Amino acid sequence: MFLQRAERRAAEGTGYLEHLLQRDSTLATTYTLTQEFLTMVRELRGDRLDPWIEAVDTQGPAQLRRFALGLRDDYAAVQAGLSLVHSNGQTEGFINKLKLTKRAMYGRGKFDLLRQRVLRAA
């Protein structure tokens, strides 16, 4: 429910979410921080990353603080991902498909068999 856009959420889901957020302040804070991060991702607003990480550090729950710590580990890549319109999603998808095909052969096939299977699947 936290990740779904408000306009796509069913009416009963919205009511339930509002009820939860009113009853638990930690949950409300987590929801607010999650929505801010989703806005950064959807609108490519990498300039908001530093204030978001600071807000998570000061008021976020432990799980979000660990997530923010992970973002800091590869800050340059995260900043680029939240700022640039370029995507390597198609490449990553193809690599994932290739690795899945290779794993399905249980180490029995060599490069020539893998090549044939990938070309046949395309």
- Predicted confidence (pLDDT) per residue in 57-101, tens digit: 999 999 999 999 999 999 999 999 899 988 788 888 888 888 888
Write down the residue that tokens 């999603």 correspond to.
89
Q: Are residues 42 and 62 in the same domain?
A: yes
For 92, counting Cβ atoms within 10 Å of its Cβ (0-12 exposed, 13-18 middle, 19+ buried), the class is exposed
Statement to judge: residues 78 and 104 lie in one domain: no
| Structural domain that includes position 106 | 89-121
Residue 43 lies in a domain: yes
Q: Alpha helices, DSSP H only, in 1-122?
A: 11-23, 25-43, 49-59, 62-73, 75-83, 89-104, 111-121
pLDDT at position 66: 96
Confidence of residue 122 (pLDDT cuts 50, 70, 90): low
DSSP string, 26-48: HHHHHHHHHHHHHHHHHHT-GGG
pLDDT at residue 43, rounded to an integer: 93
- 73 and 13 share a domain? yes
44 shares a domain with 26: yes
Average pLDDT of the residues of the chain: 89
Number of domains in the chain: 2
Residue 14 in domain? yes
If asked whether residues 79 and 112 sit together in one domain, one would say: no
In a domain, 69, yes or no: yes
In a shared domain, residues 65 and 10: yes
Residue 10, pLDDT above cutoff 80: yes
User: What is the average pLDDT across 5-19?
Assistant: 85
Q: How confident is the model at residue 108 (pLDDT cuts 50, 70, 90)?
A: confident
Do 78 and 107 lie in one domain? The reply is no
Q: Across residues 96-113, what is the average pLDDT?
A: 81
Token pair 């490519």 in the structure block, residue: 44
